[in-house]
């Protein structure tokens, strides 16, 4: 049986650990940014079947069944090769999930390029995470492939939901981190994540001199002048998620590249 084509296909109980933090709905297709560290480059081409104009997403009914069975309370719209706000049926999918899983919190992980154009839909999520590595247009271009830096200050002013900023760290922005965090505080951002890319061999000496207030899933969380700042190392993270890939495959690993190329043989529930 092919899990990507059979909507009744589910992962076996043994294929999924007992507890999960969240469920990802993944989108693939054209994008408005060209990030060199795009996760989609790590996945087999067959997983990245374009789904921006498909409603409902492939195998969504089976995925909803798994979310309900596992009692997952966090659903995230995100992408492998695209931004989820490019998805044509964003509003319709949100409405569908609100009806089918009314107790779940639905989050958006976006690059922010379309937020101001779609602010009403943006505010219909429960919370959002914005991938935003720099306020400097040249640095932003090196990391995101565009000089059109989203107006984060205006987004923060118009947001009616909690927003978090996710900042990948590399050689292009490492020297800006202190001023970057200060700018986030200035515009009212309360939560930020500094991300060390999966497989990165370099060590970034960030937040030196600060002591973590807590640890979350194996990673330190700091209080920086009232702003919560997490230093996220994917190699350390102990998160668990289930993932609906663009081709309809359901995976059970937090690190998306580990879901591939082979998945456990699915079973049909009767």
Say which CATH number the domain at 35 has: 3.20.20.70
| DSSP assignment letter at 114 | T
| Inside any domain, residue 145 | yes
Sorting pLDDT into bands at 50, 70 and 90, what band is 269? Answer: very low
Task: Supply the mean pLDDT for the chain.
Answer: 87
Determine what percent of the chain is predicted with pLDDT higher than 90.
Answer: 70
Is residue 259 very low, low, confident or very high in pLDDT (cuts 50, 70, 90)? low
Residue 37 tokens, joined: 């560290």
Query: Which pLDDT value is given to residue 216?
Result: 83
Q: Tokens 């979350």 belong to which residue?
A: 216
Q: Which long-range contacts (CB under 8 A, 24 or more apart) does 248-251 make?
A: 248/3, 248/4, 248/5, 248/7, 248/57, 248/58, 248/59, 249/3, 249/4, 249/47, 249/59, 250/3, 250/9, 250/10, 250/11, 250/59, 250/62, 250/63, 250/66
Q: What is the pLDDT of residues 7-56, one digit of tens each?
A: 333 443 334 444 889 999 999 999 999 998 887 887 888 999 999 999 99
Separation CA 211–CA 169 (nearest Å): 20
Phi/psi of residue 164, each to 5°? -125, 145
Identify the pLDDT of residue 1: 32
Let me know: does 10 contact 253? Beta carbons within 8 Å. no
**pLDDT for 98:** 98
Output the pTM of the full model.
Answer: 0.86
- The answer to the question of residue 2 being in a domain is no
Domain that holds residue 134: 9-268
**Is 245 within the bounds of a domain?**
yes
**What local confidence, expressed as pLDDT, does residue 12 receive?**
37
| Contact status, residue 135 vs residue 178, Cβ threshold 8 Å | no
Predicted confidence at residue 257, as pLDDT, reads 56
| pLDDT, position 258 | 58
According to the model, what pLDDT value does residue 235 have? 66
Of residues 76 and 200, more confidence is placed in: 76
- pLDDT recorded at residue 5: 39
pLDDT computed for residue 234 by the predictor: 66
3-state secondary structure 66-84: HHHHCCCCEEEEEECCCCH
Residue 49 and residue 5 in contact, taking contact as beta carbons nearer than 8 Å: no
In a domain, 149, yes or no: yes
C-alpha 39/C-alpha 80 separation (Å) is 6
Contact residues for 270 (Cβ-Cβ < 8 A; gap 6+):
none
In a domain, 159, yes or no: yes
- pLDDT at position 237 is 64
| Residue 1 domain-assigned (yes or no) | no
pLDDT of residue 217: 83
CA torsion sign for 149, 154, 160, 166 is positive
pLDDT of res. 58: 97
Is position 256 within any domain? yes
pLDDT at residue 256, as a whole number = 62
66-91 pLDDT, tens digit each: 999 999 999 999 999 999 999 999 99
pLDDT per position as a tens digit, 96-151 = 999 999 999 999 999 999 999 999 999 999 999 999 999 999 999 999 999 999 99
* Residue 3 resides in a domain: no
Number of domains within the chain: 1
């Amino acid at each position: 049986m092919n899990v990507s084509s059979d909507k009744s296909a589910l992962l076996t109980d043994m294929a999924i650990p007992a507890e999960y933090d969240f469920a990802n709905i993944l989108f693939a297709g054209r994008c408005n940014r060209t990030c060199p560290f795009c996760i989609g480059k790590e996945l087999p081409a067959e997983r990245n079947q374009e789904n921006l104009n498909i409603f409902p997403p492939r195998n969504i009914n089976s995925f909803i069944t798994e979310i309900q069975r596992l009692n997952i309370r966090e659903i995230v719209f995100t992408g492998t090769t695209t931004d989820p706000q490019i998805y044509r049926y964003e509003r319709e999918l949100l409405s569908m999930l609100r009806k089918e899983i009314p107790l779940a919190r639905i989050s958006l992980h976006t690059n922010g390029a379309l937020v101001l154009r779609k602010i009403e839909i943006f505010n219909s999520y429960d919370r959002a995470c914005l991938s935003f590595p720099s306020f400097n247009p040249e640095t932003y271009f090196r990391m995101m492939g565009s000089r059109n830096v989203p107006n984060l200050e205006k987004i923060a002013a118009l947001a009616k939901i909690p927003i978090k900023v996710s900042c990948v760290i590399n050689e292009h922005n490492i020297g800006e981190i202190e001023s970057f965090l200060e700018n986030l505080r200035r515009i009212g951002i309360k939560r930020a994540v500094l991300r060390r890319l999966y497989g990165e061999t370099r060590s970034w000496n960030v937040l030196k001199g600060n002591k973590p207030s807590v640890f979350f899933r194996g990673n330190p969380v700091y209080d920086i002048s009232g702003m919560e700042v997490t230093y996220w190392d994917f190699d350390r993270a102990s998160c668990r998620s289930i993932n609906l890939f663009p081709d309809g495959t359901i995976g059970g690993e937090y690190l998306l590249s580990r879901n591939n190329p082979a998945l456990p043989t699915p079973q049909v529930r009767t």
